[in-house]
Structure 1
Amino acid sequence: MNTFWEFLSARYPNSTTSTRHYWHADSASEQTLSDCNITALSQYGFVAVEGPDSSKFLQGQTTCDWRKIDTEHAALGSYCNIKGRMVMSFIAGMQTSDAVLLRLHADTGDSACATLAKYIVFSKAKIRNATAEYLAIGICGKNARSQLIQNIGIAPTASMTQVTDGKTVLVQLDDSGERFECWTPAAGAIELWTKLSAGATVIDSTHWEALNIAAGLGEICSTTQDTFIPQMLNYHVIGGVSFNKGCYTGQEVVARMQYRGKLKRRLYRAKILRSETVFEHLPGADLFNGDGPQSIGNLVSAVSRGKETELLAVLTEDAVSANDIHFANEPATLEILDLPYAIPSAK
């Protein structure tokens, strides 16, 4: 535990961190979102890539176009294996032209570094798991931008844009300017949190995951690595894949699916009302249709409020049409909800 988490434990004595790495400010209290909210995003970690060849190296390894990523522009992306299956997903930002931060699920940081390190040896760049060096703080609500400007002096102005002072990076995640991630060095996290939280409601980091689910943003964690191609998580729709950037690991499979294949499974948003209040299924858990023994999809992420759980899952279109989707040994079925973006018609 670093100093920042010790600080949070002392300041919020009822706070806990769940087995899924979510931070709960006060597990015993109900939380209502306000005009400005703040949370410590304990589920996230960082991979740092530094050196003059950082962007060039990542251009040949990941799905996003690094010619469009700089100290003003962030991007959603992923790294795939040679079969086109996602090993990690990330939001990419830059502290300087030679210093990249990939914000990803913390439990994928070591494997991501180990995999990419095999190929970086021929580049003028170095890679490391920087999870212990940086913290991700989430700020959301209609007054979030004004809170950032008041306390930091800068804020992005459009979705997937960023601002930086060379150390701290601020990324805007939405079009309306009501959701931001602040990636800050651990050494200054206490001071930054103290400033930002003074005018904000402190909330659990599961609220952040709920906002991801509402936005239709699925991410890779340790239990879903090597499971999905980017199109299954709708990354081709929400800006996580470039089809004109050139070659990268897994590109042949991803491109073939886009131009010649038929996508049989994709990301859906849903909710489920269960008899139990504890939702125990991990991302990657199989889903079934009716009495059929064959898995028709997998859970991507989920957040529960009482007996109701909202989730993202990769499902077959036929199963969704049948409208009888459930987890193993559970009678409760999923209710499919609308995504906030349109899905192109299948070929």
Structure 2
Amino acid sequence: MHAFHSSIPARAEGCAQCAPLDDFLVFSASGADALTFLHGQLTQDVTGLPADAARLAGYCTAKGRLLATLVMWRAAPPDADDAPQLYGLVRQDLAPALIKRLSMFVLRAKVKLAATPLHVAGVLATAEQAAALEAAAGSLPRTPWQRADLPSGTWIAAPSADARLRWWWIASDEQLEQAAALAGVLGLAPAAQWHAADLAAGIPWITTATQDVFIPQTVNLDLIQGVSFTKGCYPGQEVVARSHYRGTVKRRMAYGTIADAAAQGAALAGVDVYDAAQPGEPTGRIVDAASEQGVVSVLFETALAALPAGDLRLGAADGPRIAAAPLPYSITP
């Protein structure tokens, strides 16, 4: 059983919600060369990452197609050469292959990549609930992508599409044992609730179903601080930079909902999207999806020309209708 399940009681609404995220994994990068190595592999400025922040990043093939997206942050100042320097939060299903592939390129660098036993949860709260949460946990970051290391674990402020505050909470077994006070102000929530909020916020999580499909711009990674265009080379950098500087991004990731109980959440990743008015071929593809309370939320990559007038459908030109809705950031020039 996930440690959060045994630490946080089921409780009625009225308190902050804690959703254990069993489908995520945290890996560590240890060793003296960990930061410079990952700086040369990821789309993000790893060596320039502020100590109190986290950032999105992508890992691409040489052709610029994403093999993973991750949230990354620096570890506490290391007390030994083999101590973790950086942590990355990724989808569980692609984590083993990602760690293996990155490790293949380490060569003589002093770097070790490994899965950690850390637990991951998503916490959602109103402003009033956050006050009670902070009384138990300590001061929490409020600006998206800011991070705080507290006795209860690492808290990273996540973007939100509405007025709720959101955090990724990453904790060890020992930290959870010491976080008894938090049990009184948190209630268990389903992971789908957190995933749906991620989708509404426009955060693209690559899974095994969508690896080697999208370049960073077509899932908006450049719009949400996930790509640095001033750092040095990394796999796929030429493709990503060319699309950026030539202004040729004609496809973006949009958000929508499907009011069809037959559509099955996360299983939809990679499914084609059609425009009923132009049924000959797909206009895009589902990036990620989540089902909550009978409504399926989706992020889908599509031609900008198909928005907003297109009659978008899931799986076929006569499939369930996708009702497009705004993201909290602009996807048009």
Q: Which residue of 305, 310, 313 maps to 1:326? A: 313
In the alignment, the residues of structure 2 paired with residue 177 and residue 335 of structure 1 have an alpha-carbon distance, to the nearest angstrom, of 23
Q: CA deviation at 1:304?
A: 2.5
Given that 2:24 and 2:120 are in contact with CA atoms closer than 8 Å, whether structure 1 keeps it comes out as yes
- 1:168 counterpart residue number: 153
Question: Are the counterparts in 2 of residues 7 and 190 from structure 1 also a CA contact under 8 Å?
Answer: no
2:239 is paired with a residue of what secondary structure? Answer: helix
Amino acid at match of 2:51: T
Cα deviation, residue 234, structure 1? 0.7
Deviation at 1:149, TM superposition (A): 3.2
Matched residue, 1:7: 6
- Give the structure 2 partner of residue 56 of structure 1: 36
Partner of 1:140: 124
State the match for 2:176 in structure 1. 189
Q: Report the secondary structure of 1:37's partner residue.
A: strand
Number of the residue aligned with 1:304: 291
Q: Contact between 1:71 and 1:164, CA under 8 Å: does it hold in 2?
A: no
For the structure 1 residues 277 and 221, does the alpha-carbon distance in structure 2 shift closer, same or farther, using more than 3 Å as the test?
Answer: closer
Change beyond 3 A, Cα 1:170–1:218 = same
Q: Who is 2:218 aligned against?
A: 232
One-letter amino acid matched to 1:47: F
Please state whether the residue corresponding to 2:221 is helix, strand or coil: coil
Residue 337 (structure 1) aligned with residue 325 (structure 2): yes
Match of 1:150 among 115, 135, 138: 135
Cα displacement (A) at 1:104? 0.9
**Post-superposition shift, 1:166?**
9.1
CA–CA separation in structure 2 for the residues paired with 1:218 and 1:323: 22
Cα offset, 1:293, TM superposition = 3.7
Deviation by residue 1:143-170 (Cα, 9 ceiling, x = unmatched): 4543453333342242211122599321
Aligned position for 1:286: 272
Secondary structure class of the residue paired with 1:66: coil
Distance 1:280 1:148, change over 3 A: closer
Question: Could you tell me which residue of structure 1 aligns to residue 229 of structure 2?
Answer: 243
Contact 2:4 2:20 in 1 (8 A): no
Corresponding residue of 1:38: 18
AA paired with 1:150? A
Deviates more, 1:207-216 or 1:32-41: 32-41
Give 2:314's aligned amino acid.
Answer: F
* 51 and 313 in structure 1: CA distance in 2 versus 1, 3 angstrom threshold: same
Q: How many Å apart are 1:197 and its aligned residue?
A: 3.1
Which structure 2 residues correspond to residues 209-220 of structure 1 after superposition, within 5 A? 209-220=195-206
Structure 1 CA distance for aligned equivalents of residues 31 and 152 of structure 2: 15
**Structure-1 separation of matches of 2:329 and 2:301:** 16
The normalised TM-score by structure 2 is: 0.87
Q: Which runs of 5+ in 1 are unaligned?
A: 13-24, 26-30
Of 185, 188, 193, the residue aligned with 1:207 is 193
Separation of aligned partners in 2, 1:236 and 1:110: 26
Distance in structure 1 (CA, Å) of the matches to 2:205 and 2:172: 23
User: 1:85-124 CA distances to partner (integer Å, 9 max, x unpaired)?
Assistant: 1111111112224521101111111111011101123222
Q: Matches of 1:236 and 1:125 in 2, distance apart?
A: 27
Q: Distance in 2 between matches of 1:189 and 1:238?
A: 31
Distance in 2 between residues matched to 1:54 and 1:177, nearest whole Å: 35
Counterpart amino acid of residue 161 in structure 1? Q
SS in 1 for 2:64: coil
Secondary structure, counterpart of 1:309 in structure 2: strand
Equivalent position amino acid for 2:268 in 1: L
Deviation at 1:209, TM superposition (A): 0.9
User: Take 1:299 and 1:46, find their aligned partners in 2: how far apart are those partners?
Assistant: 25
Instruction: Write the distance in 2 (CA, Å) between the matches of 1:269 and 1:196.
Output: 33
Secondary structure of the residue that 1:237 maps to in structure 2? helix
Say which is worse superposed, 104-113 or 115-124, in terms of deviation.
115-124
Tell me if the contact between 2:258 and 2:321 (Cα under 8 Å) persists in the aligned partners.
yes
Deviation at 1:288, TM superposition (A): 1.6
Asked if structure 2 preserves the Cα contact closer than 8 Å seen for 1:50 and 1:126, the reply is yes
> Closer, same or farther in 2 for the Cα pair 1:73/1:277, shift >3 Å?
closer
Residue 295 (1) aligns with residue 294 (2)? no
In the alignment, residue 102 of structure 1 is paired with which amino acid?
Answer: G
CA shift digits 1:276-307 (9 cap, x unpaired) = 37557421111122262422211112222454
Identity of aligned residues (%): 25
Tell me the SS of whatever aligns to 1:302: strand
Superposed CA offset, 1:50-97 (max 9, x none) = 122221111111011123324312111111111111111111112224
Given that residues 268 and 314 in structure 1 are in contact (C-alpha distance below 8 angstroms), is that contact kept between their aligned partners in structure 2?
yes
CA RMSD, Structure 1 to Structure 2 (Å): 2.7
Per mean C-alpha deviation after superposition, the further-off stretch among 286-295 and 60-69 is: 286-295
* Kept in 2: contact 1:39–1:139 (CA 8 A): yes
Runs of 5+ unmatched residues, structure 2? 79-84
Range with greater deviation from structure 2 (247-256 or 31-40): 31-40
Distance 2:96 2:40 in 1: 20
SS of the residue corresponding to residue 67 of structure 1 reads: coil
Sort the Cα spacing of 1:280 and 1:247 in 2 relative to 1 into closer, same or farther, 3 A: closer
Say whether residues 1:68 and 2:48 are aligned partners: yes
